[in-house]
Amino acid sequence: MILIIGGTGLVGSHLILECYKENLKLRVTYRSKEKLNNLKYHLKKNHLMKSCYLKSIDWVNVNLNDIVSLGDAIRGVDFVYHCAAKVSLADYDKDELFKTNIEGTSNVVNMCLKYKVKKLLYLSSISSIGANNDVKIINESHSWDDNRDYTFYARSKNASELEVWRGSQEGLNVIIVNPGLILGDNVNNPSIRKILKIAHNNFFFYPTGKVAVIDINDVSRILMLLLNSSVKNERFILVSENIDQRMLFDKFRLSIGKRKAFFPLSKFLLNFFLIGEIILQTLGIRKRFMSWALIQILCSKQIYDGSKVSRLLSFEYKEIKSINSV
């Protein structure tokens, strides 16, 4: 049996589809009954999944910080996909990021060890790699640079990975994947919805850096291939293309009837916005979202090399149609 932790999310829902194609026995966790109902509706309407398969899935309500419910979910399964996480670039979400991502992942690892799971596949992020700013092309060999500024999200994912590697040292077979920005399935894609909202409210400004992207179908397919392979205790960057953020941003603006952005968000301008937010936070007017680390992300020209998984699995990334059709 396969357990998908975080089954109502973007990657989790597409893993369900991959398992459906192979008629695999599934157990899937969820946190909210509303999200679960939306997922079932989405799978039936948009992916034509048969109701009989949905009914065969063992749906379990689990909180990652509740050892009892988590242990009950992991007991008796052979493989675990851990796709649940708090995703936020805002500094004010620090406590929730650390509790969900770090503590929650530690609990998952401990339960996988306790119940002798055959393999744990952990969905991380390219933000957790954190190579030195001087590195132009980042691959799996690059490691965390303590001299850089990081978002609390990046710190939480890096610390979560350390928990997964701890599990591997204690005898658990693990795989970590680090996808870039996942595109596709805009109906069930919170990251894309956030970008669309920003594109809608933004007044002609565009970020100047690059962004690593991958299609959601590639992510789910690679995760399934890795599950069925003999690969263990490895990390894989999942990136098919590195594109200018302006290009992606303009596509989103055009998709909602907006004109293309004209003015670059330079580091000087972003620093000005940050200082303004710091002042507003000091005065108690609103919490700060912007950070020095986020400014680095918006302006970074670094690119990510996702070729390792292609070489190992003879996998060919698909063209990112989402960029051209958004």
User: How many C-beta atoms surround the C-beta of residue 175 within 10 A?
Assistant: 22
3-state secondary structure of 26: strand
Least confident range of 5-14, 162-171, 186-195, 219-228: 186-195
* Average pLDDT rounded to a whole number, residues 226-231: 93
Domains and CATH numbers, the chain: 2-183+213-240+304-313 (3.40.50.720)
Rounded to the nearest 10 degrees, the angle between the axes of helix 10-21 and helix 216-228 is: 60
> Is the pLDDT higher at 113 or at 252?
113
- Considering the entire predicted model, what is its pTM? 0.89
Structure tokens at 126: 């390219």
Q: E strands, the chain, where?
A: 2-5, 26-30, 58-61, 79-82, 119-123, 137-138, 174-179, 181-183, 205-207, 210-215, 234-238, 241-244, 263-265, 303-304
- Per residue in 87-118, pLDDT (tens digit) is 888 888 899 999 999 999 999 999 999 999 99
- Is residue 77 within 8 A of residue 24, CB to CB? The reply is no
What is the pLDDT, as a whole number, of residue 192? Answer: 54
- Is residue 38 within 8 A of residue 69, CB to CB? The reply is no
Reported as a pLDDT band with limits 50, 70 and 90, residue 297 is: confident
What is the pLDDT, as a whole number, of residue 26? Answer: 96
What is the pLDDT, as a whole number, of residue 284? Answer: 79
* Average pLDDT rounded to a whole number, residues 216-221: 94
What is the pLDDT, as a whole number, of residue 133? Answer: 80
Question: Where do runs of H (alpha helix) occur along 117-244?
Answer: 152-169, 190-201, 216-228
φ, ψ at 79 (rounded to 5°): -130, 145
The yes-or-no verdict on residue 191 having pLDDT over 70 is no
Structure tokens at 115: 């119940």
> Is the pLDDT higher at 185 or at 273?
273
> Is the pLDDT higher at 80 or at 266?
80
The yes-or-no verdict on residue 271 having pLDDT over 60 is yes
> Is the pLDDT higher at 168 or at 290?
168
Instruction: Please report where in the chains the tokens 């100047």 appear, as a residue.
Output: 208
- Per residue in 199-213, pLDDT (tens digit) is 556 657 778 889 899
What is the pLDDT, as a whole number, of residue 117? Answer: 97
Q: Is residue 32 packed enough to be buried (19+ CB in 10 Å), middle (13-18) or exposed (0-12)?
A: exposed
Alpha carbon separation from 227 to 16, 244, 288 (Å, rounded):
14, 32, 40
3-state secondary structure of 271: helix
Structure tokens at 88: 């936020």
What is the pLDDT, as a whole number, of residue 260? Answer: 72
The yes-or-no verdict on residue 50 having pLDDT over 80 is yes
Reported as a pLDDT band with limits 50, 70 and 90, residue 196 is: low
What is the pLDDT, as a whole number, of residue 325? Answer: 43
Rounded to the nearest 10 degrees, the angle between the axes of helix 190-201 and helix 245-255 is: 80
